[in-house]
Amino acid sequence: MNKVTGVEDGVLYDANYDSVLIEMRKTAKTVCYDYNHTRPGDDEARSALLASLLGQSSESIVIEPPFYCDYGKNIFVGKNFYANHNLVILDGATVTFGDNVFIAPGVGIHTAGHPIDAERRNKGLEFALPVTVGSNVWIGAAVTILPGVTIGDNTVIGAGSVVTRNIPANVVAVGNPCRVLRPITQQDGE
């Protein structure tokens, strides 16, 4: 069960009409608004806002505004994290990043999914599955990561990819849907 929202991974819950969840999202949106309107170079204010918003963050975290999330407290960030402009994390379930993660502009990480049938979907029901990104990962521009995905350590996700399933460690993966293109080899370091 998710400690922040009280929602169980993969179980339908009422995202649109649950007053507690709505209030939690309002709080996160307010902090995101304040963060997105800080002056360039006001690192102290940005660090304080991120520390109040995220479930875990380190001193070496940079997220270029604008940044948007649903709850914030479900996001756990390791050391030496950099995300370029327009990062969106819909964190109905936990989103965990290892150390040395670099994210290009326009990336969306989504833990929420919705029922296929219109009747349940129209009632505001959804489910959420955690997303895990390992250490030393580079995520290219305009990548979309869907619910329940794990990306292994040292992996590169190519720009524009839609990651619908787990990607192993030490590979370059690209496409829609994202697939392993090749392993990362010693030659890549030369």
Active centre residues (catalytic): 114
SS3 25: helix
d(CA 39, CA 42): 6
| Cα separation, 7 vs 163, whole angstroms | 23
Alpha helices in the chain (DSSP H): 19-36, 43-53, 118-122
Parallel, antiparallel or unpaired: strands 102-103 and 138-139: parallel
Q: Are 181 and 173 in contact (CB under 8 A)?
A: yes
**Main-chain dihedrals φ then ψ at residue 29, nearest 5 degrees:** -65, -35
Cis-peptide, bond into residue 66, ω within 30° of zero: yes
